[in-house]
Amino acid sequence: MKRERSKKQGTGNRKQGTAASSPLPFEFVDIPADFRDDSALVVRVPAGVRSKQKLLKILADKLDFPGYFGWNWDALEECLGDLSWLSEGQPVVIVHEDMPFGAGGEHRDTYQSILASAIARGAGGHPLRVVFPATKLS
């Protein structure tokens, strides 16, 4: 498992919850590759993820999900709401290089809803932030 620690505190030309009049609690940056936060475990979701299984694999690997992870949306929601296997209180930032599933992809709304729920619930005591590119939301 490869965990990325970034070099600078929360940089990347942030716009919180503003792109495309989003009511969701996400942050939007001009260049996701430039996003940095020294205090957090930064998980990067590469561009071009169009399948649910590929996205789940990336998140499970980079967030070191437990062996009981069920490889479905319910399991993702459960694991993002827990994260007890990470260092206590460690912030987590999930940075997306583009919008998974493309514009209006079949699973896009479900995924965003799970992320928003995890943010609202506090991800098991781990501050969670989710970053998307500002220019690729539609």
Q: What angle do CA 59, 27, 81 make, to 5 degrees?
A: 40
pLDDT tens for each residue of 25-43: 899 999 999 999 999 999 9
Q: Is 62 left (phi over 0), alpha (psi -120 to 50) or beta?
A: alpha
pLDDT at 11 over 90: no
Which amino acid is it at 44?
R
Region of poorest pLDDT, from 19-28, 31-40, 105-114 = 19-28
Spacing of C-alpha 113 from chain mean position: 12
Quick one: average pLDDT of 69-86? Answer: 96
SS3 letters for the chain?
Answer: CCCEECCCCCECCEEECCHHHCCCCCEEECCHHHCECCCCEEEEECCCCCCHHHHHHHHHHHCCCCCCCCCCHHHHHHHHCCCCCCCCCCCEEEEECCCCCCCCCCCHHHHHHHHHHHHHHCHHHCCEEEEEECCCCC
pLDDT value at residue 6: 35
Cβ contact 93:131 at 8 Å: yes
Report the percentage of the chain scoring pLDDT > 70: 80
Q: What is the pTM of this model?
A: 0.81
Does residue 13 surpass a pLDDT of 80? no
Q: What domains can be seen in the chain, in order of their start residue?
A: 4-133 (3.30.370.10)
pLDDT of res. 95 = 98
